[in-house]
């Protein structure tokens, strides 16, 4: 089992590599560019801000995914 935690300054790509099962959550929140070049450089924190989400709440939700 992977015990790595998703953090604010991790890129979307890195977060998906740790927990691919978070993709549906991100998609439901309007983050549809999970495989594009933006995902390689945009952090989870930046993506939350761009999409009007509370970053700490998003991180908590993503890390609760098993």
Per-residue pLDDT tens over the stretch 4-13: 899 999 999 9
Contacts of 16 (CB under 8 A, 6+ apart): 22, 23, 26, 34, 39
pTM for the whole structure: 0.85
What are the tens digits of pLDDT across the range 38-66?
777 899 999 999 999 999 999 999 999 98
The CATH code for residues 12-64 is 1.10.3910.10
Q: Where are the domains of the chain?
A: 12-64
**Cross-strand bridge partners of residue 65:** none
Task: Pick the closest to residue 63 from 44, 49, 39, 38 (CA basis).
Answer: 44
Dihedral, 46, 36, 6, 48 alpha carbons, nearest 10: 30
């Amino acid at each position: 089992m992977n015990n790595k935690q998703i953090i604010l300054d991790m890129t979307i790509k890195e977060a998906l590599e740790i927990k691919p099962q978070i993709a549906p959550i991100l998609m439901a929140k309007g983050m549809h560019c999970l495989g594009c070049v933006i995902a390689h450089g945009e952090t989870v924190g930046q993506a939350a801000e761009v999409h009007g989400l509370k970053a700490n709440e998003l991180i908590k939700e993503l890390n609760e995914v098993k």
